[in-house]
A and B are shown apart, each in its own frame.
Chain A
Amino acid sequence: MSFRFPSPKSALELHQRLLQNDVLAPQAACLAFLPALTAYLQHKFPSADPHLHATAATDALMDYLRQPHRFDPSRGNLYSYLCLIAQRDFQNLQRNARRHRHVELPEEFGNSSQSTVLDAILAAEQYEQSQRQLAQLAQRLPQLDQRVLRLMLQKERSTSVYARAMHLDHLSHHQQQRQVKRAKDRILKRLLRGVLHV
C-alpha cells in the first residue's frame, strides 16, 4: 500500500472515472487516496489520537466520493482539495472530542459515574461488581454499538453526532432520530439483560 498521493495526472484520470460512474473507480480512489490522506493528517497532527487521523481521512474521502463533481480541476489539484477537507474534518472531530474530555472514559466503560443513562444499573447495590460486569458486557457489543454506548456515557445529546458515528449521514434527520433511538434502546436492553442475567 502506497502512502504517496498519485501524480496530478493520475489523480485527475481517476477523478474522471468517478464522474463517469466507472464501477471500479471508488475502490481505486480508496486505495490511491486514503493511505496518503491519513499520512498527511498524521504528519500535520502528530500528537493526536491515531483513530482520529483514520476517521477524518475516511470522512473526507467519503465526502468527495459522494459528490466528486464539487471538485473543480481549474481551481487547483485534487490532493490539495482532499487535504483541505480532511483537515476540516479532523478539526471537527478533535473539537467534538475535546468537548467531552471532562468525562473520563476508560476503555472498559466501567467507572463513568457521570452517565445518567446507566446510573440505575451502576448505582444498584444488589449488583455486585456491576461496573466490571458492565465493562465486560460492553466489550461483547458489536463495534458500532460500543461507539454509541461511548457517546451515551459521555451524555452526548446531538442526534447528528450519533448519526455520524453510526454512518447514517445519508438519512433524513427524522430517520436518523429513529435509528439512533432504536440503537440506544437495543444497547440498554442488552446491558440490562446481561446485568440481570435474564
Chain B
Amino acid sequence: MSDPLDLMADRARHEPLFFGYLLERYAQSQALDDAALAAHLGITLQTLRLLRLAGCPATEPSRLRLQIHLLAEAHGIQTGLLLEVVQQALAESPLPASAPSELLTPEPA
C-alpha cells in the first residue's frame, strides 16, 4: 500500500514550497542519491524524508540563517552544513516565482 507521507516527500522534491525542492537541487548538483545525501547531512533516510516536508526558507540572508537554524535544530543537523547545502542549491538557480514569499518567522524559544 502506498504510504501517503512517502508520496508527499517524493512530490516535495519538485514543489518549490517545500525544503525538499532545495535538497533535490543540491543532490542533483552533487550527484547524490538519497542515501548519500542523508549520510552527508548526518541523518537517517527517515529524517531526510521529514526534512523534505519542511517549508522552503526565505532567501533574505538574516531570515535565511534563522530559518536554517530552526530546521537544523529540529532535525539534528549542523546549522553550518545545512546552510552550505542551501546556499549551494540557491546558487544553482534562483527559486521560481511560486516559492513562498519572505515573511516573518517566529522567534526561537
Residues of A in contact with B (beta carbons under 8 Å apart): 1, 17, 20-27, 30-31, 34-35, 37-38, 50-51, 53-55, 57-58, 61-62, 65-66, 143, 167-168, 170
Asked whether, in the complex, the Cβ of A22 is within 8 Å of the Cβ of B1, the reply is no
For the complex of A and B, 8 pairs with smallest distance between CB atoms: A54-B2, A27-B53, A21-B103, A54-B4, A23-B55, A26-B55, A23-B67, A50-B1
CA–CA, A58 to B100, complex, Å?
19
Asked whether, in the complex, the Cβ of B71 is within 8 Å of the Cβ of A31, the reply is no
Describe A's contact surface by its main secondary structure. Answer: helix
Asked whether, in the complex, the Cβ of A27 is within 8 Å of the Cβ of B55, the reply is yes
CA–CA, A30 to B15, complex, Å?
14
CA–CA, A25 to B74, complex, Å?
12
Asked whether, in the complex, the Cβ of A62 is within 8 Å of the Cβ of B8, the reply is yes
Asked whether, in the complex, the Cβ of A62 is within 8 Å of the Cβ of B5, the reply is no
CA–CA, A167 to B7, complex, Å?
11
Per-position binary interface string of chain B over residues 50-85, scored 1 when its CB falls under 8 Å from any chain A CB and 0 otherwise:
110111111000000001001100100000000000
Asked whether, in the complex, the Cβ of B101 is within 8 Å of the Cβ of A34, the reply is no
Instruction: Choose among A22, A53, A55 the residue with the greatest number of B CB atoms under 10 Å from its CB.
Output: A22
Asked if B93 is an interface residue, CB under 8 A from chain A, the answer is no
Residues of B in contact with A (beta carbons under 8 Å apart): 1-5, 7-8, 10-11, 14-19, 50-51, 53-58, 67, 70-71, 74, 96, 98, 100-106
Query: Which residues of A have CB within 8 Å of B3?
Result: 54
B74 nearest CB across to chain A (Å) = 6
Query: Which residues of B have CB within 8 Å of A21?
Result: 55, 58, 100-105
Extra pairs beyond A54-B4, A55-B2, A58-B11 (11, CB < 8 Å): A20-B103, A23-B70, A23-B105, A24-B71, A26-B17, A27-B55, A31-B5, A50-B1, A51-B1, A54-B2, A61-B8
Asked whether, in the complex, the Cβ of B98 is within 8 Å of the Cβ of A170, the reply is yes
Interface pairs (5), CB distance under 8 Å: A26-B53, A26-B54, A27-B51, A35-B4, A54-B7
Asked whether, in the complex, the Cβ of B96 is within 8 Å of the Cβ of A34, the reply is no
Which residue of A is nearest B54, CB measured? A27
Query: Which residues of A have CB within 8 Å of B2?
Result: 50-51, 54-55
Asked whether, in the complex, the Cβ of B54 is within 8 Å of the Cβ of A55, the reply is no
Which residue of A is nearest B67, CB measured? A23
B58 nearest CB across to chain A (Å) = 7
Partner of A23, one of B5, B7, B19: B19
Query: Which residues of A have CB within 8 Å of B4?
Result: 34-35, 37-38, 53-54, 57-58
CA–CA, A11 to B78, complex, Å?
31
